[in-house]
Amino acid sequence: MRLLSFGDSQICKYAVVTVATIGCGKTTTSLALANLFPNIIGHIQNDNIRRPVGNKLVAGALEILINRPIVILDKNDHKFIERKQIFDDFDQLNEVIPTSKLKFICLNFLRNRPQEDKDLWNITRERILERGDNHQTIKAAGKGITKAEKIIQGFIKRFQPVDPGREPDSKFDLIINLDVTSPDSSYANVKTVVDNLISFASDLNLTRPTEEQFQEAFKSALDYKPSVNKI
């Protein structure tokens, strides 16, 4: 029998940090992953946290890690300073998990400079318009379009790509490169993440889902409607 407590435990805890802009599919991908492995992968959305958010995202993630080995922290983290804050908050708040057992995984949705990527703008803009008001804070239906476009643009403009050669990104134990190059990119991204988790988090002995299971989990992720409304 495998020990699940710490100390001499063999299992690690995995904090999965998304790096993206708006509409890249962070929430869709995270929900599909949590659907596929409900007892293993937890998911916390920055958009569900009452402002000021402060360190509540990491505090909530640590709570999830009590009962599950993997948590996805769903936030844009589009700048170095945002990623640094996540690491700093873990340093400050984590009193239970030995640092050698806490692994950080980056879901890198954007490899290149998104400022020059016309496809990214077109795909994410289209997705957000299609999503309409079905979001906690970004309302894109009707007159909301222009405001939503400005918000998307702002994130793209400020984006700082993941750079494993410098802090804070050098602190990631694994960087999983994803793509937002087609309107349906999230399905392939879910599979990429699963395959990487199977090999990197080998202590968890994850079983690869069947094609049918992937499709079902993805379909219900696409149907997601947030229960929190912050506006």
Task: State which amino acid sits at residue 164.
Answer: P
Rule CB under 6 A: choose which of 14, 19, 28, 159 binds ligand GDP. Answer: 28
Determine, following the binding rule CB under 5 A, whether residue 27 of this chain makes contact with Mg ion: yes
Contact between residue 194 and residue 36 where contact means Cβ atoms under 8 Å apart:
yes
Size of the site for Mg ion (CB under 5 A): 2
How far is 87 from 154, CA to CA, in rounded Å?
Answer: 24
> Measured from the CB of residue 23, what is the shortest distance to ligand GDP in angstroms?
5
Q: Coil, strand or helix: which one is 70?
A: strand
Q: Which of 79, 101, 131, 158 binds ligand GDP (CB under 6 A)?
A: 131
Nearer to ligand GDP, 63 or 184 (CB): 184
Is there binding between residue 133 and ligand GDP (CB under 6 A)? no
Binding of residue 214 to ligand GDP (CB under 6 A): no
Minimum CB separation of residue 94 from ligand GDP in Å reads 25
Closest Cα partner for 163 from 171, 153, 151? Answer: 171
Nearest distance, CB of residue 22 and ligand GDP, angstroms: 5
Question: With CB cut-offs between 5 and 8 Å by kind, which of ligand GDP, Mg ion, none does residue 28 bind?
Answer: ligand GDP
Q: Which residue of 16, 17, 23, 62 would you call a contact of ligand GDP, by CB under 6 A?
A: 23
Task: Write b or e for each residue in 88-119: b if 16 or more Cβ atoms lie within 10 A of its Cβ, otherwise e.
Answer: ebbeeebeebeeebbbbbbbbbbeeebeebee
Is 24 near ligand GDP (CB under 6 A)? yes
For residues 108 and 185, which CB has a smaller minimum distance to ligand GDP in the complex?
185
| Nearest 10 degrees: Cα torsion 87, 92, 96, 97 | 20
Residue 85 makes contact with ligand GDP by CB under 6 A: no
Tell me the C-alpha distance between 102 and 110, whole Å. 24
* Distance of closest approach, residue 180 Cβ to ligand GDP, in angstroms: 8
User: Quick check: 44 and 102 in contact, CB under 8 A?
Assistant: no
64-67 long-range contacts, Cβ below 8 Å, gap at least 24? 65/13, 65/15, 65/97, 66/96, 67/42
The residues facing 22 across adjacent strands are none
Chain residues 141-180 in contact with ligand GDP, contact rule CB under 6 A:
none
Residues that bind Mg ion (CB under 5 A): 26-27
Residues that bind ligand GDP (CB under 6 A): 20, 22-28, 127, 131, 183-187, 222
